Each structure stands twice: as C-alpha cells, then as structure tokens.
Amino acid sequence: MVRVDIWSDIVCPWCYLGRRRFEKALAGFEHRDQIEVVHHSFQLDPSHPAGQTELTVDMLSRKYGMSVDEAAAMEARMEETAAGEGLEYHMAGLRIGNTADAHRLVHLAKDRGLQDAMVEALFKAHFTEQRSVFTHESLVAIAVEVGLPADEARAVLASDTYAADVSDDAATASRLGASGVPFFVIDMRYGVSGAQPTELFTQALTEAWQSADLTRN
C-alpha cells in the first residue's frame, strides 16, 4: 500500500477542487486499489469565533484589501474554475465560519470507516448546497446522511472529543512545511501543495509507487 495524506479545510474552495483533481488521477492510476487515502484537519482561520459567520465576500474583501465587487468577481471566477472540474459551486451569499466542529466529525467518521464520504458531504453541503457546516444541528444532519448515528455525532459535538486530533493535524502540517491547503503528502516522500493539475497528481502517484516498489524489491 502507498498512503496519501491530505490536509484541507471544509470552507476552502481550492481544497474541494484539489480533491476532485486528485480523485481523477487516482481513478486512472493502475494501482489505485493499493492506495490508502487519509484526510487531515487544517483550519484556514482557527481564530474565527465559534457560532459566528460572515459573508465570504466580506472576508475576502478585508483579507485581500479589495472592494466587495472585486471579491464577488473573484468568487465568480472560482465558480467557473470549479465547473471545469465538474463541480457546482454557488459562491454568492456563501458564509464562512469556524470549522473545528466539522473537522471533529471527520475524525469520528474516520474511526467509523466513513471519513472520505464525510469529507465529500461537507464540501458539497458548503459549496454546492449552501447548507451550514457550522451549527451542530446541520452538522448532525450531514453526519446522518453519510451513515453516522445521530446520537454519536451529537455526543461528539457536545464535548471536546477529537479536538486534540484537529490540533495535532495542524501541528503535523506545520512540521511538514505546509503554509496553506490543500496539501498532499504521498508515501511520506512527495509533497504536492495546492490544487495542482490532475497530470501532476498522476506523476506524483507514479513516482511514489515506483519508489515504493524499489524499496519492496
């Protein structure tokens, strides 16, 4: 097996795009059945107050020192880029907030063998359906849709369960030199930063597999 570790944030549009491009590379990879994918937490803004949200366009305007209209145009371009990969983004009116609770449920899903499905469901809920990924009620609903028991999801959200795992993921990313996401590490040998083209992911998978094969032999 070759392991691929992926760091991402649920509210990062490039992370969903990078995920889809990686999936396309993996689908066409000869040894795809021997690739293990593990998702890790990364918060773009861990300081964002829990329970509070704001329009993404306002955050972009403030962060990059641009007008709201310019930020809206940036969002529109992001929608077009996503559409080119078969993703449906609805950025107008999209809100952003603290994602710690969403990441904690991803860790719960990992322990139940549903991690990849949970990550996909959260991305789709946020970018395609504009459902909240910030309130406990909405997060429990999404968890149930991927097969997690509602009572178990509620219990996690009502506690600090998996909070240390979320922090550990961020610390590991920092040690590996990740300053942003998406961030991919293939077989602990090859790092791929950003939503790179599918062809680059294919190349990285091939090189990692060949190196692992040489090690095995």
Summarize pLDDT for 120-177 with one digit per residue, the tens.
999 999 999 999 999 999 999 999 999 999 999 999 999 999 999 999 999 999 999 9
**pLDDT given at position 216:** 58
Mean pLDDT of 168-193: 94
For residue 179, pLDDT over 90 is answered with: no
What does the pLDDT look like over 27-63, one tens digit per residue? Answer: 999 999 999 999 999 999 999 999 999 999 999 999 9
Class of residue 185 by CB neighbours under 10 A (exposed 0-12, middle 13-18, buried 19+): buried
Map out the domains of the chain as residue ranges. 2-216
User: Is residue 54 within a helix (H) or strand (E), and if so which, with residue range?
Assistant: strand 53-55
* Among the listed residues 190, 182, 195, 183, the one whose alpha carbon sits nearest the alpha carbon of residue 207: 190
Cβ contacts of 202 within 8 Å, gap of 6 or more: 25, 28, 29
For residue 184, pLDDT over 80 is answered with: yes
**pLDDT given at position 215:** 62
Mean pLDDT of the chain: 96
Mean pLDDT of 92-96: 97
CATH topology for 2-216 is Glutaredoxin (3.40.30)
**What share of the chain has pLDDT > 90, as a percent?**
94
For residue 217, pLDDT over 70 is answered with: no
pLDDT-based confidence at 214, cuts 50/70/90?
low
Mean pLDDT of 177-188: 94
Class of residue 153 by CB neighbours under 10 A (exposed 0-12, middle 13-18, buried 19+): buried
